[in-house]
Every structure is written in structure tokens, then in C-alpha cells.
Amino acid sequence: MKFVYLSHILNVLVAGMMGTLLFFNSNSEIIEVFGPPTPARQILSCVYLSIASLSSVALISKNKTINIAVVLFPMQIVYKILSLIAVSDILNPVPWSNLAISILHAYSLYLIYKNHLQDKSIN
């Protein structure tokens, strides 16, 4: 399940970094992509920091890694794909990076369910 760990590590790094940048930073690059500091942007930063926190728990608590993944990854996939539909600026990099992360998480979920089905067939 190394791939699932990779998905959690990516969450910690990307979501943690983005959440921190959005929460504490208002430089021009951030404003260009995410807009000016607003309550909505602060809420988004809290979503990112929550994702990073849950993935951190999943990495620390090895017995919870899969359980957290099967709840967190589908939620992320849905929200990230919806962002691709919702953002009308096709040049905005956020929805496209969201799509890439969604593909990674979808593959992680595929491996989890494939492994689960194999375990059931053995028993």
C-alpha cells in the first residue's frame, strides 16, 4: 500500500503548503490564482489544512491509514473535479492540479479496493 502512503504524503505537502499560503499570505501570485483575501479564501485554506491534518494522522497511525483514505480521498476527488467544472478560467492552474491529485487518489482507492477484494477471496 505504498501508493496510498504516497497519496497521504502528497496531501500533507500540497494541501498543507497551500493551506498555509492561503491563510497567511497575500502576495500577488496567490491573489492572481485564488483572488484577494476574503472569508471564502480563508475557508478554503481551512479545508486544505484539514486535509493535510487528516493525512498526517493517517501517516502517523498506521492502523488508520486505509480507513482515513477511504473517507478522505473520495471527498477530495468529488470536490476537486467539481472545481474543474466550477472554475470558468481554463488557464487557472488550480483545477488542473486538482485533477492530477484526483487521479492519484482514484488510483490509490482502486488499489485499496482491489486488495480488499483479494483478501475476501482468500478467506
Residue 17 has pLDDT above 60, yes or no: yes
Question: Rounded mean pLDDT of the chain?
Answer: 91
pLDDT in the model for residue 3: 92
Q: Which residue type is seen at 75?
A: M
Residue 118 has pLDDT above 60, yes or no: yes
Residue 32 has pLDDT above 90, yes or no: no
Residue 45 has pLDDT above 90, yes or no: yes
pLDDT in the model for residue 103: 96
pLDDT in the model for residue 123: 56
What is the chain's percent helix, strand, coil content, to nearest 5?
A: 85, 0, 15
User: What kind and span of H or E run contains 111?
Assistant: helix 93-122
Residue 122 has pLDDT above 70, yes or no: no
Please, what sign has the CA dihedral across residues 34, 96, 85, 108? negative
